[in-house]
Structure 1
Amino acid sequence: MKRMVLALGFALAGAGMSAPLHAEGGLAFQPVAPEGLDATATEMVAALQAGMPAQMAAFEQAGFGFYGALAVPQGVELGPEKLASVANHATPDAAQSAVLEVCAQQTGAACTVIGLLVPAPE
């Protein structure tokens, strides 16, 4: 799982992004309870979510801004290449819709949102 977290910043850099919108305090990760995952995938997502706050500086350096979202496919074995992301959307809802579309296109499976990139609290 640690490899999945570390690979995330590199595997997702540049995916689904437009001009960055950066909060004064930077980015924060807001976990979202995934739907439709088996027990093993749910455990992997929980470990990924736990490691995400430490990845925010790398996301910012890669050009990610708010609002962004991360998603994984349902019903398939998870790995770093299965994660989908988008960033720099006008609203959290827009980011969630976009990441579900990107994830479905990348994997051919229904997907679930696992987290949001939001402005860090001041």
Structure 2
Amino acid sequence: MKKLVSALGLSFAAVPLFAGALAFEPVAPEGLDATAEQMVEALQAGMPAQMAAFEAQGFGSYGAIAVPKGVELKPELLASVANHESAEAARIAVLDACSELTGAECTVIGLIVPAGN
């Protein structure tokens, strides 16, 4: 079962697979124009500060964040998933979720992992 956190457009499994400190690992996006890359860099820079809020809400890792390629980036087009069994499973799930949300090809911009991983 998934629940949607509508304010951020994030999809999380109902029961965390990992309970503990989270960390954000930025991933170099592929196929974005210069403007989109700058927007992604700003988003990535702010994500580590968001991990405590995710933890406080009971969310765990592994997760991923993706954006669509070739479209104007807007907050509502950000796709995220969490509470997967591995970083690779989260990567696959977020690309599917992003494509479904936007109808476009997507690229991963970050992973949510256990801190110290």
| TM-score, length-scaled by structure 2 | 0.88
Write the distance in 2 (CA, Å) between the matches of 1:59 and 1:21: 13
Q: In the comparison of the two structures, how many residue pairs are matched?
A: 113
Give the superposition deviation at 1:61: 2.6
Alignment of 1:42-61 (within 5 A): 42-61=37-56
Q: Which runs of 5+ in 1 are unaligned?
A: 1-7
Q: Which runs of 5+ in 2 are unaligned?
A: none
- Give the percent of matched residue pairs that are identical in Structure 1 and Structure 2: 65
Identify the structure with the greater helix proportion. 1
2:19 matched to 1:19?
Answer: no
Residues 23, 120 of structure 1: 8 Å contact kept: no
Cα pair distance change 1:9/1:64, threshold 3 Å: farther
3-state SS of 2:66 partner: strand
Write the distance in 2 (CA, Å) between the matches of 1:88 and 1:30: 15
Q: Note the aligned Cα RMSD (angstroms).
A: 1.9
Write the distance in 2 (CA, Å) between the matches of 1:108 and 1:63: 30
Alignment of 1:23-42 (within 5 A): 23-24=19-20, 26-42=21-37
Identify the structure with the greater strand proportion. 2
